[in-house]
Amino acid sequence: MKASETATKEYVINKWKNYKKTDLPPAILVPAQPPKSLTTQPSPDRIKRCIPVQRILTELEKIKGSILDMPDISSNKGLTTIKEEIRKAFYGQFTGDFTPLMGEDELKESTYRNVASCILKQDDSNPKYKRITSLVYNWLGTLCRSDKIDKIEIVFNSGRYRAFLHQLHCIEDRQDQLDFQPDLSDESSLEERKFVLERLDKVCKQVSHNRQVRMARMWHGYHRASLPSLLTNGFATLGKNDNGWYGKAMYFTASAKYARRYGNCLIMCYILILNPFPIVTDDAPPNVPSSTFRFYGKGTHQNYQCHYIPVAAADNNPNTIDYRPPVNGIDNALYDELAVFQEINILPQIVVHLQETQLRHASIRGKNNLCDCDWQFTVYCT
């Protein structure tokens, strides 16, 4: 090993040794030219010319191992190798359903700005594509008989994915803190609310991953014409167009069949769950206008991160848009809704495009943005 390379390693390793495990390390400063010997430290002027490699936020021990084996970083090739090792160490912490189903080199479509994508062909002989297609069908569950899948599309936004992972870390740190624990002692229907939270826990357990955090697989129904705008700009604009029956938020559901009522594109997302507030009949009584609901058009309740609502048809009409908490208990709630107030907790992964269907219509003016629209929609169940 060259003396310059050894000296550079020694300098960087010493920087690591000075970090406290509980502290967030600053950018590692690597000399533009390595010191001439092990006993030579870089001058102040040379330190000013240092190259910031990357802020390391987590998994310090793993990344330290990468640095011990690093090549001569006086070359661009060596610097690139270090960055790649750090990148692998960071993303390697995460495994599970929410991680990318394909490598970035396989997501070659650019249908949506800033979003890489790939369409899975139904008759594709690629074993990997077949496996993913099988997973998607399993996650979809049962749709209406008239529904026909046109295509399945994998979508990936690298910036949104990184933000989601950092938010995941943040929630892991917060979820045991007292400030983020539910306090339902002053709420009515306490037992019913506990049942609502138990139902959400069951939904979260359907997602397989290696992290100490709750995460739900949810669907959002959307109309095809506006899909590019949603995937490019994100979900944050949804709450601006609709007051929302259970809060001014972005709405999702664990049921693809329910989401289908609101559009012919079903967007499957993973939602981080920190401190959900359970909504019951007392908050949305029967036989009253939705504008009188407790959380109509409002933000998140107190320190809660989201609102969770098991729902059923208010008038037992399967084609109604009036779904609210059932008066006879959540066991009679066929579907659910999740009102999310921060976009950073949302990670879109799959879009299922369904064929157009010509059936009877119903108005959805003023309904939650499971479909972000103020128009007539098609009722697809037959």
Q: Which of 32-46, 81-95, 282-296, 313-327 has the lowest mean pLDDT?
A: 32-46
Beta strands in 87-165 (DSSP E): 109-112, 115-120, 149-156
pLDDT at 203 over 70: yes
Residues forming a β-bridge with 152: 120, 352
Q: Looking at residue 276, what is its pLDDT?
A: 97
pLDDT at 318 over 90: no
Residues forming a β-bridge with 353: 151, 265
| Distance of alpha carbon 267 from alpha carbon 238, whole angstroms | 14
Query: What is the model's pTM?
Result: 0.76
Higher-confidence position of 343 and 382: 343
% of the chain exceeding 90 in pLDDT: 58
Provide the greatest CA pair distance for the chain. Answer: 82
- The pLDDT tens digits for 17-58 are 554 444 444 444 444 444 444 445 555 554 444 444 444 445
Which segments of the chain belong to CATH 3.90.228.10? 109-378
% of the chain exceeding 70 in pLDDT: 71
pLDDT at 382 over 70: no
| Distance of alpha carbon 332 from alpha carbon 232, whole angstroms | 37
Q: Looking at residue 59, what is its pLDDT?
A: 53
Q: Looking at residue 117, what is its pLDDT?
A: 95
For residue 129, the number of C-alpha atoms closer than 13 Å in the C-beta half-sphere is 15
Higher-confidence position of 304 and 370: 304
State the pLDDT confidence band at 237, using cuts at 50, 70 and 90: confident
- The pLDDT tens digits for 131-183 are 999 999 999 999 998 899 999 999 999 999 999 999 999 999 998 899 898 89
Q: Which amino acid is at 374?
A: D
Q: Looking at residue 331, what is its pLDDT?
A: 93
349 token code pair: 């992964």
| Of the options 3.90.228.10, 3.40.190.10, 3.40.50.2000, 3.40.50.300, the CATH number for the domain spanning 109-378 | 3.90.228.10
| Distance of alpha carbon 233 from alpha carbon 228, whole angstroms | 8
- Please give the mean pLDDT across all residues of the chain: 81
State the pLDDT confidence band at 7, using cuts at 50, 70 and 90: low
Q: Looking at residue 356, what is its pLDDT?
A: 81
Q: Looking at residue 365, what is its pLDDT?
A: 36
| Distance of alpha carbon 121 from alpha carbon 153, whole angstroms | 9
